Amino acid sequence: MASPQEPLIIRDKQEMRKWSRSMKTQGKTIGLVPTMGYLHKGHISLINEAHKHAQLIVVSIYVNPGQFSTSEDISTYPSDFNGDLNKLKCVNGGVDVVFNPYNLYDYGGSNVERENGGKREKVEGKMVVSCVEENGGGHETWIRVENLEKGLCGKSRPLFFRGVATVVSKLFNIVEPDVAVFGCLIQVRDLDFSVKVIGSEIMREDDGLAMSSRNVYLSKEERQKALSISRSLSKAKHAMEKGIINCEQLRVSLIQTVEEAGGKVDYAEIVDQHTLEVVEEVKNPVVFCVAAWFGKARLLDNIEINV
């Protein structure tokens, strides 16, 4: 058995870009796997996928303040940097670089927390805001995915898609990867990034629960109740395959099942696989997307349905 490979830890943006460009002058291809840390088997599967498409692997670990609203406490997001490093050392094929920046924003005098080697530290300000927002200052430039942010997570978390799209753009510009492995983003198409995006399926626990860093928040009882999400999605897929195509009927059934189990549904939407626009009837390949609260955990899940 090969000995664990120690990844290089880079925290400075310029140093990260310098490393990538140095590797590219040697003819190497680079794969990026963006994460917010607290890694699980789902993240490892993304790294394994990246190895199929690139010679060198960069894993970013950065809890992005730009996607958290004022009502969300970024300091409570689970973190175990040393544990993450130990997991990455054991990945087949290894990980070449862990990019763990202190911050990726101009804070303009506001206070936020940043991650520093597994320990969160205060930097000036409470959150990353735009200068056009109330009491905003500093960071001014944001990527907006206009149609996407009107639905799904955008309804209850209006800053979410803006924050994710912006930080992904930053990572692409800093790491300069050839390939990135995570959920597909429309911005890659619209902004002509020279990055090939590889989508990967959701990884599940043995009982069907979608893997998530937030699962650590669930009590044993809540975890059992949360299985209603994946089971309801599987039931909906079976119903569609049997010819039920009315999306409202399918949504109502899922919401009822999850809420009877003790959950609070944030959204349940059936969207086109390519545009992510909400559909009323299932006539083409779709994704059934769900976000629901169980206790303190906001859980996301989805299932692709090809009809």
- Let me know if 238 is a catalytic residue: no
Q: Name 124's Cβ contacts closer than 8 Å, sequence gap at least 6.
A: 107, 109, 110, 111, 112
Asked if residue 202 lies in contact with residue 212, where contact means CB atoms within 8 angstroms, the answer is: no
Give the long-range contacts of residues 303-307, CB within 8 A, separation 24 or more. Answer: 303/233, 303/234, 303/236, 303/237, 304/201, 304/273, 305/236, 305/237, 305/240, 305/241, 307/240, 307/241, 307/245, 307/282, 307/283
- Which is the catalytic residue, given 43, 51, 53, 274? 43
Catalytic residues: 43
